Amino acid sequence: MPSFNGRAALALASFGTFGSTVLSAPSGDWKGHGGWKGHDDPFSNASWPLPRRVYGENDTANVDSATEGWGGIHLHDPSIILGPDGHYYSFSTHGLTVISRASKKGSIDGYWEIIGSVLDAGSSVINNSGSADPWAPDVHKVGDTYYDYYSVSQFGSQISAIGLATSKTLMPGSWTDHGEVFSSDPNATYPLNVTNAIDANLFIDPKTKTPYINYGSFWSNIYQFELTEDLKDIKQDTAVQLSLDPVAPQPEEGAYMNYHDGWYYLWYSHGTCCGYNSSALPAPGEEYSIRVGRSRSPRGPFMDREGVKLTEGGGYIVYGSHDFVYGPGGQGVLSDYHGRDVLYYHYVNTIVDPTYADNLKLLGWNYIYYIQGWPVLSYH
Ligand SMILES: *[C@@H]1O[C@H](CO)[C@@H](O)[C@H](O)[C@H]1NC(C)=O
Ligand SMILES: *[C@@H]1O[C@H](CO)[C@@H](O)[C@H](O)[C@H]1NC(C)=O
Ligand SMILES: *[C@@H]1O[C@H](CO)[C@@H](O)[C@H](O)[C@H]1NC(C)=O
Ligand SMILES: *[C@@H]1O[C@H](CO)[C@@H](O)[C@H](O)[C@H]1NC(C)=O
Ligand SMILES: *[C@@H]1O[C@H](CO)[C@@H](O)[C@H](O)[C@H]1NC(C)=O
Ligand SMILES: *[C@@H]1O[C@H](CO)[C@@H](O)[C@H](O)[C@H]1NC(C)=O
């Protein structure tokens, strides 16, 4: 038997075929599976697995456009959810929150078909005129309704808002835009005067059923509010800071929270997200990477593996650039994917995208193992 880690599988097959390579089934025991087989330290970056490959529409006709050419395999800040018909649906930044659907029931491998968008026209949130290009959708089912929290902003601006659209079916045409949930600007009420209201993540505490919204990007990094029961407004005076990189430019964003076995995990993206130029890349380590901390409470404090608080610059790097993967981020967790947790994200695949163009970023994913309560990614 060859060694079954993602890289070995890749070495055996060309990029074009590794997705169909027959691999051994996971046993549930972390040893011997995924990227870290052959390494003593599952937490080492030498153990990072390759992304699982997804199949789907590959619309490269509009690669020069910020808003077209997205969906299918090309996602940014993806959100994935199981639909009422047993198919998985994905949502992406751009394309008025482009919706794709995996044609194979119960699978996130694909074939991802673009089926439309959440919004028919721009968002009703008109702040700062980013409304025609909502970012970073975060879709969850609560009761019988799907909630999509999206962001309205412009690159480099703190005048931002988080909007909400809801649907009973996830299908294009079924969404109602409720407009703004909350917004940030220099004149807003603290902490909305010092934070950036984008990159929303709804988290409902499985223990207390309390709804929270995690958000933030750069300016003061990641914050959290409690939401009102209808999930359409924040409760003032409930803000807590979850994470802060004190080193300028404080590049943290894209928070995502999940719960597993007594721990709350706060995942986020650190570094420069986009606009990479293959001949002038950010200094190594300054591009996007995926980091995580954990806490016994959804309100924090979150700590990294060294015991450093996330609010004091902590953060365990769980996935970053390696092999043909560059700048992974915009992540989310899919719980109970056939009984397992999955981390999905976007990344630059430097083989298919040697120019590192934003519009060719791919959806990737890996299984999550929790080793001593710390997430480790795995190919299997
Ligand atoms: C992996 O970790 C080692 C040791 O901490 C570090 O020197 C190296 O730069 C890291 N490599 C990547 C690709 O992050
Ligand atoms: C953004 O729009 C909302 C109404 O949708 C308004 O309450 C808020 O003050 C606006 N913020 C800015 C900075 O214009
Ligand atoms: C903030 O207040 C100042 C002074 O009133 C005003 O000039 C500025 O336009 C306001 N900014 C926003 C984003 O509302
Ligand atoms: C934000 O608001 C708080 C409370 O009103 C105020 O003390 C603080 O100076 C403001 N910060 C900025 C950067 O405007
Ligand atoms: C990429 O960087 C190179 C070298 O700095 C520069 O000449 C080129 O214009 C840049 N390309 C873009 C699209 O910004
Ligand atoms: C998508 O299509 C482009 C243009 O045909 C091609 O260069 C690229 O390799 C394709 N991407 C994938 C992942 O197949």
72-122 pLDDT, tens digit each: 999 999 999 999 999 999 999 999 999 999 999 999 999 999 999 999 999
Q: Whose Cα sits closest to atom 2 in ligand 3?
A: 187
Q: Which residue numbers are catalytic?
A: 77, 253
Kindly state the average pLDDT of the residues 290-310.
Answer: 98
Task: Evaluate: CB of 320 within 6 angstroms of ligand 1.
Answer: yes
Kindly state the average pLDDT of the residues 316-324.
Answer: 95
Task: Evaluate: CB of 355 within 6 angstroms of ligand 5.
Answer: no
Confidence grade of residue 47 (pLDDT, cut at 50, 70, 90): confident
Kindly state the average pLDDT of the residues 317-340.
Answer: 96
pLDDT digits (tens, 9 = 90+) for 149-193: 999 999 999 999 999 999 999 999 999 999 999 999 999 999 999
Confidence grade of residue 61 (pLDDT, cut at 50, 70, 90): low
Confidence grade of residue 294 (pLDDT, cut at 50, 70, 90): very high
Kindly state the average pLDDT of the residues 276-281.
Answer: 95
Q: Which residues, 6+ apart, have CB-to-CB distance to 190 below 8 Å?
A: none
- For residue 126, pLDDT over 90 is answered with no
Pocket residues: Cβ below 6 A from ligand 3: 159, 185-187
Confidence grade of residue 19 (pLDDT, cut at 50, 70, 90): very low
Confidence grade of residue 30 (pLDDT, cut at 50, 70, 90): very low
Taking the domains of the chain in order of start, what are their residue ranges? 45-378
Just give the CATH number of 45-378.
2.115.10.20
The CA 355 to ligand 5 mean position distance, Å, reads 11
Pocket test for ligand 6, best of 352, 359, 361 (most atoms within 8 A of CB): 352
Kindly state the average pLDDT of the residues 37-65.
Answer: 78
**Number of the ligand 3 atom closest to the C-alpha atom of 185:** 13
The CA 54 to ligand 4 mean position distance, Å, reads 45
Q: Whose Cα sits closest to atom 7 in ligand 1?
A: 45
